[in-house]
Amino acid sequence: MKFARLRGTSTLPPKSRPKEAVSKLKAWLWPQTIESRSARITQYKDLGIFVGAVVLVWMLEDTIRGLLEINPEELQKMSM
């Protein structure tokens, strides 16, 4: 038997395109190796901190604006 004819053949049927896309997405979101997984978790933590900071500033926007606002009356009181 010549094995050259068997090159590229497989006993498993090929995956369908949607299943392949889902498995690639799953592997990208949650990598299989421990090193890659720990790197991905730190990326998720950094992203969570960034989103949390944006939401905090968005919620406290009016308060921050009020604290930074300078009234001419306050300037006159400080200059005296």
pLDDT, tens digit, for every residue of 22-65? 888 888 888 889 999 999 999 999 999 999 999 999 999 999 88
Measured at the alpha carbon of residue 25, what is the angle toward residues 46 and 32, in degrees to the nearest 5? 75
Domain count, the chain: 1
- Judge whether 34 lies within some domain: yes
How many angstroms separate the CA atoms of 22 and 63, rounded? 44
- Judge whether 39 lies within some domain: yes
Q: Are 77 and 67 in contact (CB under 8 A)?
A: no
What is the pLDDT at residue 30? 87
How many angstroms separate the CA atoms of 14 and 8, rounded? 12
Residue 78: phi and psi, rounded to 5, are -70, -35
Show the domain range for 33: 18-79
Six-digit token pair at 35?
């090193």
- Judge whether 23 lies within some domain: yes
